[in-house]
């Protein structure tokens, strides 16, 4: 592998955002294809930190710092990917449910998914159930991911699941997460999957799209 | 045959608790609460925390999620940290920095009806004082845990519980039938003055507590746009409030608040610190589960609440506990720079506890001790900037001081205690730990450190954004008033060292104690206080942090240890 690509993976894993941005720029200048930079530079870095997280070798603060470094790199790559018409195989709709304005956890999941080469449509925070339904339809997304950070907005998560189930999208899968959410709650509201952290959210998403 | 439960408190004898047939479908936490042994059900029995962990044979289980039927003949062991401790450390002292005159708003008859109460209802603790309105003298103080704790340890859990109207009634009753009358009676006994001499009272509290006190549905505050049913000050009679034990017709004033999460406790603090009269811009910061802050600048107030999470209250940490007697409140690392080969590593830590408990039998660590650990650990090279144990440092320690937990490695402070930090055993009443048996080791894990860094970053990011909104730098602030019990016991140098208040220096900080209680007291002493607090509401602009675009960036910037 090109030494610069490896350096990019290392920079992302270590959360060095200035390095990540510079190395991405260097690779582009050298003529490397944006998709290759994602697949061979960013994906290995993010999956390495995801693995270390699952093994309790790093924790949420380091994940956040790494995800921000990746975001810097993606900021350069995404416009190029879009203009070249390159679309990831699977697109996931993600958002924080109605009444809840917290986005740090959701943004981390979103970055981890991008780091696993998923396409992500981030609807932001305080997202009404109908907006999830519209987006799932518009993007023909196989998965919708719902986040809730407050015990008091968990009912809105249930509402979103009900609305998505009523939308007539038989193959749609719904995954849920967020600090107060539990596997029991996910089952109770009829979600297809629950993940307790951003690293296992990637595994769950892969499972739900049948990879 | 009546069913029974076999219980053992720490290493005490096994006791039998009879269980009525109607109660056999309950979980252990419910049964034990009914039996007068309330456990630390800080997540309201949802099974989200480990507060009520008990042992069942060799197994560790959550009492709130274990049904009586599943216990059989096993002995349920209740370790110390699982108890909802009965002796909290409640901040009931404060500085008053604002001028006032003794002109009470209540009708006074000397010797007959000349006493008032001031109350601060916190989510965790409640503080009460009695004051003589003839001379403004504080007669007595009393504090206790808020009896609502068994319904959840944070305001959002309690707000969520109120979707059930019966639970709203329970939460109100916990205050008006339990915590408040108990504390008033205690304060009256200490003052040797009957409650019949009360002629009025004032109550400061966060917005949720004031809703629950009046039995008003707080659920609209549980989700954006977080709409409270009321914020303005209210005055009602003791009877209307449902408060028994004092003269029924006396007026009780509830202080006004600014928003759902910047409440009357902050309005009271703004008034008591007199920060509106400071020449330079000034800040009031109250650190708890939420970090609440108010900035005064050019005649305006800017406020925000930042969700720090419960880590600073010890929740979710391996050996974390709230501030109460028997808890470690301060910590030092002996070798101040690095480990020197001559220093026996067993003497790494010296600990201070609240009360007379020796450090070796401490029940847990409270938030201020964790702040010390972060600062001292970083200084000594034990911690890296990302809040991890330095592997090189760990290699210098004996292997038996490290523990593997399901969430990564942990360091046992107990294995590394300095003998010098052991005071002579007290000859007075037995310490909590001799009463409950041997304590478990004090552990700090890397997962704990990660939670603490996130709590720290939330406070630091909130503070930074508030300054940004006003176009100010930390050096522009004349005074930063640090309010609340946490600020009271904090080692300020360590708080600054870990970047909790980034950019500030010690000479700007002023620890002012329970300014919420101070504001309630001023509302009893000076009839101009309540109108002044009411007027301050119109000066306030609330900054919503969770939706603020710069919050995440600032939060991530503040995660590392300087």
Find out whether A167 and A149 touch, Cβ atoms under 8 Å: no
Chain B contact set for A60 (CB, 8 A): 450, 454
**What pLDDT digit, counting tens, does each position of B306-356 carry?**
988 889 988 889 999 988 888 999 999 986 444 555 554 557 899 999 888
Percentage of residues of chain A with pLDDT beyond 90 = 92
Give the number of beta-carbon pairs within 8 Å between A and B.
79
Asked whether the ipTM of the predicted complex exceeds the cut of 0.90, the reply is: yes
Identify the three-state secondary structure at position B406: coil
Report which of B337, B548, B319 is spatially closest to residue B414, judged by C-alpha positions. B319
Identify the three-state secondary structure at position B549: coil
Sign of CA dihedral A149, A155, A160, A165: positive
Q: What DSSP string describes B297-347?
A: ETTEEEEEEEE--GGGGTTTSTTB--SBTTEEEEEEESSSSS--TTS-GGG
Judge whether A102 is closer than 8 Å to chain B, CB to CB: yes
Bridge partners (DSSP) listed for residue B320? B365
Task: Point out the residue among B222, B386, B551 whose CB comes nearest to the CB of A152.
Answer: B222
pLDDT at site B436 = 37
CA B332, B336, B340, B346: dihedral to nearest 10 degrees? 0
Residue of chain B whose alpha carbon sits nearest to that of A125? B547
Residue B215, φ and ψ in degrees, nearest 5: 70, 25
**What pLDDT digit, counting tens, does each position of B200-245 carry?**
999 999 999 999 999 999 999 999 999 999 999 999 999 999 999 9
Would strands B327-333 and B364-365 be described as parallel, antiparallel, or unpaired? Answer: parallel
Q: How far is CA A112 from CA A120, A134, B343, in A?
A: 10, 24, 45
Residue B192 region, left (φ>0) first, then alpha (ψ -120 to 50), else beta? Answer: left
pLDDT at site B425 = 38
Instruction: Report how far residue B253's alpha carbon sits from residue B229's, in angstroms, rounded to the nearest whole number.
Output: 17
Judge whether A98 is closer than 8 Å to chain B, CB to CB: yes
Looking at residues B55-62, what average pLDDT do you find?
Answer: 81
Instruction: Report how far residue B7's alpha carbon sits from residue B3's, in angstroms, rounded to the nearest whole number.
Output: 13
Is A182 in Cβ contact with B447 (below 8 Å)? no
Q: pLDDT band for position B84 (50/70/90)?
A: low
Looking at residues A16-45, what average pLDDT do you find?
Answer: 96
Is B224 in Cβ contact with A99 (below 8 Å)? yes
In Å, how far from its chain's centre is CA A58?
Answer: 19
**What pLDDT digit, counting tens, does each position of A108-151 carry?**
999 999 999 999 999 999 999 999 999 999 999 999 999 999 99
Lowest mean pLDDT among A172-186, B65-79, B519-533: B65-79
pLDDT of residue B177 exceeding 50: yes
**Residues contacting residue A121 through CB under 8 Å, at least 6 positions apart:** A91, A92, A93, A94, A135, A139, A141
Task: Point out the residue among A60, A98, A151 whose CB comes nearest to the CB of B160.
Answer: A151
Find out whether B555 and A67 touch, Cβ atoms under 8 Å: no
Residue of chain A whose alpha carbon sits nearest to that of B548? A101
Judge whether A151 is closer than 8 Å to chain B, CB to CB: yes
Tell me which H or E stretch contains B353.
Answer: strand B349-353
Distance from CA of A60 to the nearest CA of B (A): 7
Q: What integer best gives the mean pLDDT of chain B?
A: 88
Looking at residues B514-538, what average pLDDT do you find?
Answer: 96
Report which of A188, A65, A86 is spatially closest to residue B387, judged by C-alpha positions. A65
Q: pLDDT band for position B289 (50/70/90)?
A: confident
Would strands B251-254 and B234-237 be described as parallel, antiparallel, or unpaired? Answer: antiparallel
Chain B contact set for A151 (CB, 8 A): 46, 156-157, 160, 222
Judge whether A28 is closer than 8 Å to chain B, CB to CB: no
Q: pLDDT band for position B68 (50/70/90)?
A: confident
Q: How far is CA B454 from CA A2, B316, B320, B487, in A?
A: 36, 13, 16, 18
**What pLDDT digit, counting tens, does each position of B318-332 carry?**
999 988 888 999 999
Residue of chain A whose alpha carbon sits nearest to that of B547? A101
pLDDT at site B408 = 87
pLDDT at site B48 = 62
Residue of chain B whose alpha carbon sits nearest to that of A150? B156
pLDDT of residue B89 exceeding 90: no
Residues from B contacting A (CB-CB < 8 Å) are: 46-48, 156-157, 159-160, 163, 219, 222-224, 307, 386-387, 406-409, 446-447, 449-450, 453-454, 457, 544, 546-547, 551-553, 555-556, 559-560
Distance from CA of A100 to the nearest CA of B (A): 6
pLDDT of residue A37 exceeding 80: yes
């Amino acid at each position: 592998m090109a030494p610069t690509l490896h350096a990019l993976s290392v920079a992302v894993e270590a959360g060095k955002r200035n390095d990540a941005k510079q190395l991405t720029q260097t690779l582009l200048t050298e003529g490397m294809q944006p998709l290759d930079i994602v697949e061979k530079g960013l994906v290995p870095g993010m999956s390495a930190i995801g693995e270390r997280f699952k093994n309790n070798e790093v924790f949420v603060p380091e994940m956040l710092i790494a995800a921000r470094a990746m975001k810097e790199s993606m900021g350069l790559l995404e416009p190029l990917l879009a203009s070249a018409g390159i679309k990831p195989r699977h697109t996931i709709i993600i958002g924080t449910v109605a009444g809840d304005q917290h986005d740090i956890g959701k943004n981390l999941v979103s970055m981890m998914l991008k780091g696993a080469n998923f396409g992500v449509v981030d609807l932001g925070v305080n997202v009404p159930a109908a907006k999830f339904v519209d987006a799932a339809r518009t993007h023909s997304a196989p998965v919708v991911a719902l986040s809730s950070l407050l015990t008091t907005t968990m009912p809105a998560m249930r509402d979103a699941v009900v609305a998505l189930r009523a939308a007539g999208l038989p193959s749609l899968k719904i995954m849920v997460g967020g600090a107060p959410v539990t596997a029991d709650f996910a089952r109770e509201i009829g979600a297809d999957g629950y993940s307790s952290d951003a690293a296992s959210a990637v595994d769950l998403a892969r499972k739900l799209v049948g990879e | 045959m009546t069913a029974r439960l076999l219980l053992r408190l720490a290493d005490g004898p096994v006791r039998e608790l009879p269980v009525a047939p109607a109660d056999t479908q309950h979980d252990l936490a419910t049964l034990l609460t009914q039996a007068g042994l309330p456990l630390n059900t800080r997540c309201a029995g949802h099974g989200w925390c480990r507060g009520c962990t008990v042992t069942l044979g060799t197994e560790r289980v959550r009492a709130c999620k274990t049904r009586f039927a599943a216990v059989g003949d096993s002995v349920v062991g209740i370790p110390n940290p699982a108890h909802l401790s009965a002796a909290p450390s409640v901040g009931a002292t404060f500085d008053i920095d604002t001028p006032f005159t003794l002109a009470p708003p209540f009708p006074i008859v000397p010797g007959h009806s000349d006493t008032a109460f001031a109350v601060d209802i916190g989510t965790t603790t409640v503080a009460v004082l009695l004051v003589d309105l003839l001379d403004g003298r504080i007669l007595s103080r009393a504090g206790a845990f808020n009896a609502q704790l068994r319904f959840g340890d944070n305001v959002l859990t309690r707000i969520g519980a109120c979707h059930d109207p019966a639970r709203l009634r329970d939460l109100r009753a916990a205050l008006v039938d339990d915590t408040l009358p108990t504390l008033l009676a205690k304060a009256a006994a200490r003052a040797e003055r009957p409650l019949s001499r009360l002629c009025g009272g004032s109550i400061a509290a966060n917005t949720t507590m004031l809703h629950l006190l009046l039995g008003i549905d707080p659920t609209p505050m549980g989700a954006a746009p977080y709409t409270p049913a009321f914020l303005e000050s209210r005055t009602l009679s003791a009877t209307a409030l449902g408060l028994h034990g004092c003269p029924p017709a006396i007026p009780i004033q509830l202080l006004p608040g600014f928003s759902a999460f910047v409440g009357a406790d902050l309005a009271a603090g703004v008034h008591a610190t007199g920060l509106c009269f400071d020449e330079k811009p000034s800040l009031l910061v109250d650190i708890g589960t939420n970090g609440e802050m108010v900035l005064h600048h050019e005649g305006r107030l800017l406020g925000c609440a930042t969700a720090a999470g419960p880590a600073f209250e010890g929740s979710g940490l391996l050996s974390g506990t709230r501030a109460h007697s028997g808890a470690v409140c301060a910590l030092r690392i002996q070798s101040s720079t690095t480990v020197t080969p001559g220093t026996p590593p067993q003497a790494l830590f010296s600990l201070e506890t609240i009360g007379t408990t020796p450090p070796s039998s401490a029940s847990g660590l409270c938030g201020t001790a964790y702040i010390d650990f972060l600062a001292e650990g970083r200084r000594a090279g034990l911690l890296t900037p990302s809040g991890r144990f330095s592997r090189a440092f760990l290699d210098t320690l004996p292997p038996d001081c490290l523990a593997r937990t399901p969430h990564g490695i942990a360091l046992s402070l107990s294995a590394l205690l300095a003998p010098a930090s052991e005071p002579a055993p007290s000859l007075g009443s037995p310490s909590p730990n001799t009463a409950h048996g041997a304590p478990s080791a004090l552990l700090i894990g890397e997962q704990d450190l990660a939670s603490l860094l996130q709590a720290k970053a939330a406070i630091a990011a909130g503070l930074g954004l508030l300054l940004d909104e006003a176009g100010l730098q930390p050096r522009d602030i004349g005074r930063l008033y640090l309010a609340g019990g946490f600020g009271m016991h904090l080692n300020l140098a360590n708080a600054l060292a870990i970047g909790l208040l980034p950019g500030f220096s010690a000479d700007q900080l002023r620890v002012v104690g329970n300014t919420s209680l101070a504001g309630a007291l001023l509302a009893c002493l000076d009839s101009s206080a309540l109108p002044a607090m009411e007027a301050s509401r119109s000066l306030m602009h609330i900054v919503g942090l969770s939706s603020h675009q710069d919050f995440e960036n600032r939060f991530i910037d503040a995660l590392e240890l300087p």
